[in-house]
Copies of this chain bind each other. A is one copy, B any other.
Amino acid sequence: MSEDIKFLDIAYEEALKAYEKDEVPIGAVIVKDGEIIGKGHNQRIEKNNALYHAEIVAIEEACRNTGSWRLDGCTLYVTVEPCVMCAGAIMQSRIKKVVFGALDQKGGAVVSKYRLFDDGKLPFKVDYSLINYEKASIILKDFFLNKRRVSRER
């Protein structure tokens, strides 16, 4: 558990980087045998590409670092529940486990809107664990609150 918090803290540092760039503040980190092999934060606007969610950026880095498309035995820590695209990318990459720090009730694909990892429809097996990591949802709420305030002031 303290191991989980340690890596969620690092994912949260990534989320802070996104926040500073005015991107939706979500961060992710991929761990193999206790070592970080990939990190990422949401860069959709920076990269002009909707695919660059935190999880995708972290998977790309981990594949580059390991030289393999298979991330067997890896755990992905992400501040918020993955969306459909990212849950699909996690399965395609053969990541073993996902730990996330908050639900995404509008678009989460692990437990909220879909249960892609355990509905038995696909041949991929991904374990997951939801940990109540309050900072992950607080920073998101703060981000969208600021967005609305700025758009009202305009």
Q: When chains A and B are docked, how far (Å) is the Cα of A87 from the Cα of B89?
A: 11
Residues of B within 8 A of A67 (CB): 48
A48-B64, A113-B121 known, 5 other contacts, Cβ within 8 Å: A45-B69, A48-B69, A49-B59, A84-B87, A106-B123
In A29-82, the 8 Å CB interface with B consists of: 44-45, 47-51, 53, 56, 59-60, 63-64, 67-71
Residues of B within 8 A of A53 (CB): 92
Secondary structure at chain A's binding surface: helix, strand, loop or mixed? Answer: loop
* Given A85-B85, A88-B88, A114-B121: A60 in contact with B69 (beta carbons within 8 A): no
Residues of B within 8 A of A63 (CB): 47-51
Interface of A toward B, CB cutoff 8 Å:
44-45, 47-51, 53, 56, 59-60, 63-64, 67-71, 83-89, 91-94, 106-107, 109, 113-114, 116, 121-123
Q: When chains A and B are docked, how far (Å) is the Cα of A85 from the Cα of B116?
A: 11
Most buried by B among A86, A89, A122: A89
Residues of B within 8 A of A88 (CB): 83-88, 109
* Given A60-B51, A69-B44, A69-B50: A83 in contact with B92 (beta carbons within 8 A): yes
Closest to A59 in B: B51
* Given A113-B121, A122-B107: A68 in contact with B87 (beta carbons within 8 A): no
Closest to A82 in B: B88
